Amino acid sequence: MAARKRSTRGKGRRTKAGREFVSEAEEILERMREDLSQLAEATAGDGEADPELVNGLFRSAHSLKGLSGMFGLEGMSELAHHFEDGLDRLRMGRAHLDSAGLSLFDDTLTLFSSTLEHLGNDEARPEHEQKIVDLVERLDQWTQSPAGESGEEHGLDLPPTILRALTEYEEHRLNENLHKGRAIHVVDVDLEIASFEEGLAEASRAIREVGEVISTLPSPGDAPESQIRFSLLAATEVSGAELASRLELEPSAVRTGRETAHGEAEAPNKVSSTEGPVAHEEGVGSEAAAAEEISAADTPVEVKSLKSISETVRVDIRKLDELMNLVGELAIQRGAFKAIATRLAGDPNTARIGSELDKLHKALDRKLQELQAGVLEVRMVPLRQVFDKLSRVARRLRLDLGKDVSLEISGADTELDKLIVEELIDPLMHVVRNSFDHAIEPVEERLAAGKPEEGCIRIEAGQRGNDVVITVSDDGRGIDADAVQARAVERGVIPAAAELSRKEALDLVFTPGLSTRSEVTETSGRGVGMDVVRANIGALGGVVDLDSSPGVGTTIGITLPITLAIIQALIVGRGASLRGSAQLRARDTSAGAVRGAAQRWT
């Protein structure tokens, strides 16, 4: 399926630059999806958008805008631009992240993906352009919806050099933290110019353990030739003295602008955080300012992410397949090698050289196996990729169906072969949709059954031996095995007199004729396209089973081999062929017959 998808991709992807663009854009989109997914979770939890996630999304949108602009894709660039605006409002606290916003962002990412997918496909272009226009309009509407905060003033005793250098975003963060009643400190760290990045990252990390770094202002240190001083504006839950000890700094290195609201008395000096001109933004293009502000606010994070990028390589899976094939061909060569060694060993005149060759062959064999294992390992990816997509679908279904259902996920770090993971998306999506649609009852029905208002779908993944097991369970209405059986009889799938165990009756849900009709669904709570799910999983070498208790819920178990590449084979043959092999083996050792045996079966 993956191969087919590739071949239908448009010509825009065929050029090298085109492929690189797509690959980079996909990478950015993937990151945005992850961020958005986490953001959605965080928002669902305490209703507060994690500033770092919003910031990450903003940066990604900014990169995507630049990238697609460079590649001459005006529509994409335009969409990214408006997306960036929306995210900017959000991170400035001028917009509030509601479910409409989340779903809008979700739509935007989906449109980006589909635009990439259809790049170079002229037929699809007008449709995409129209979609972009529509989405831009929706983004603008959302962006302009009223929200945000008033420019409040807070009592702060902070050096004006720092306050003056705060960007609008940093001011917003400062206000937010003051709202929360956190203490505001300025931490001075003196570092060697040559190696300040590490020290700075460390200090920022230590501060983040107890709060947030709002800004990082560099200034000349006491020994300006070799040292640099960073003044970190920090909002924390701890006092200045404690922060200093956490950072292993002299107490004097931490100046406190305001202690926590629930702690000591507030500082007397009233200083408005919005006071004074924001000097560095004047006369600078807004984009440049944004970029500058990003690098200023997030230096430690940037350093970390740059490092991870440089240590990761994106590889086309086809290249890995080629490598795998090469290993296979090598192994066949090695087989011939062994045949020669055996032949030489069989002759007294060449026995010594034969056994040396055999040793070499064994060493080669070991290395080949290591190589094979190495290639296999590279193909492994975490299931998180699929689960994140499921979370998005669930979010969408919640809105569309108006059902209150939570999706709980565990074991997202479980790894599987990349190809399996890709092929898993559709069947899993199907299962989750089924649960939403048919298994979870309407609220009135749930309450009447004594269940909590909110339905729950739980996805768990884990490794069991050579298999990965994924279970999707819900606390919905369950499946009535008798109803399924009755239906099967009615449809002529099984004879009326058939005596089935409960398990066998439930298994009928996977029968093609039965499972495609919604009538079964209404009586049994499930069954749409389960035959397709079983077929898809079967094609991956996996097994699907189902268990259900009426009124309690349904569990669907999917068992998959960890990697496509390890094939569990079953050889069925009568004793005669085994004897045949023994005879041939015996002949193997006599020189002369060997070549034929190594090359062909008889």
Catalog residues that contact other proteins under the rule CB under 8 A: 1-3, 321, 324-325, 327-332, 334-335, 368, 372-373, 376, 419, 423, 466-467, 507, 510-511, 531, 534-535, 537-544, 559-561, 563-578, 580-582, 584, 599-602
Burial of 396 (0-12, 13-18, 19+ CB in 10 A): middle
Minimum CB separation of residue 2 from other proteins in Å reads: 6
Of the two residues 141 and 583, which places its CB atom closer to other proteins in the complex?
583
Smallest distance, Å, CB 568 to other proteins? 5
DSSP secondary structure string for all residues of 234-259: EEESS-HHHHHHHTT--GGGEEEEE-
Residue 240 CA to residue 18 CA, distance in Å, equals 53
Which DSSP symbol is given to 267? Answer: P
Q: Closest distance between other proteins and the C-beta of residue 437, in Å? A: 23
User: Closest distance between other proteins and the C-beta of residue 113, in Å?
Assistant: 21
Question: Which residue, among 194, 267, 256, 182, has the nearest Cα to 225 in the 3D structure?
Answer: 194
Q: Looking at beta carbons only, is 235 or 540 nearer to other proteins?
A: 540
Which CB sits closer to other proteins, 81 or 534? Answer: 534
Question: In terms of CB distance, is 124 or 593 closer to other proteins?
Answer: 593
Looking from the CA of 519 toward its CB, the CA atoms found within 13 Å total 9
Min dist CB 561 to other proteins, Å, is 6
Phi-psi region of 408 (alpha: psi -120 to 50; beta: other; left: phi over 0): beta
- Give least dist CB 316 to other proteins, A: 13
Phi–psi pair at 274, nearest 5 degrees: -100, 5
Least Å from the CB of residue 325 to other proteins: 7
**355 versus 583: smaller Cβ distance to other proteins:** 583
H/E stretch holding 122 reads: none
CB of 571 to other proteins, least distance (A): 5
- Beta carbon of residue 456, minimum distance to other proteins (angstroms, whole number): 28
CB 230 within 8 A of CB 250: no
- For other proteins, the closer of residues 161 and 333 by Cβ is 333
324 or 593: CB nearest other proteins: 324
In a 10 Å sphere around its CB, with 0-12 CB exposed, 13-18 middle and 19+ buried, how is residue 569 labelled? exposed
Q: Which is nearer to other proteins, 447 or 539 (CB)?
A: 539
Considering the complex, what minimum distance in angstroms separates the CB of residue 539 from other proteins?
5
Q: 3 vs 313, which CB is nearer to other proteins?
A: 3
Token pair of 487 as six digits: 């239906």
Secondary structure (3-state) at 194: helix
- State the Rg of the chain over Cα: 32
Nearest to 428 by CA among 470, 467, 398, 468: 470
Q: Is 581 left (phi over 0), alpha (psi -120 to 50) or beta?
A: alpha
CA 332/CA 567 separation, integer angstroms:
18
Least separation in angstroms between CB 162 and other proteins: 56
Angstrom distance (rounded) from CA 148 to CA 150: 7
- The backbone region for 402, taken as left when phi is positive above 0, alpha when psi lies in -120 to 50, beta otherwise, is left
Taking the CA of residue 280 as centre, how many other CA atoms within 13 Å lie in the half-sphere pointing to its CB? 17
Q: Six-digit token pair at 392? A: 């998005």
Give the torsion sign (CA, 210, 214, 218, 219). negative
Nearer to other proteins by C-beta: 381 or 566?
Answer: 566
Q: Which position has the token pair 């749930």?
A: 446
Between 197 and 337, CB nearer to other proteins:
337
Shortest distance, CB of residue 416 to other proteins, whole angstroms?
12
CB of 355 to other proteins, least distance (A): 21
Identify which of residues 184 and 565 has a Cβ nearer to other proteins in the complex. 565
Strand locations in 391-504 (E): 405-410, 415-417, 455-464, 467-474
Which CB, 130 or 583, lies closer to other proteins? Answer: 583
DSSP state, residue 441: P
Characterize the bridge pairing of strands 543-549 and 553-561.
Answer: antiparallel
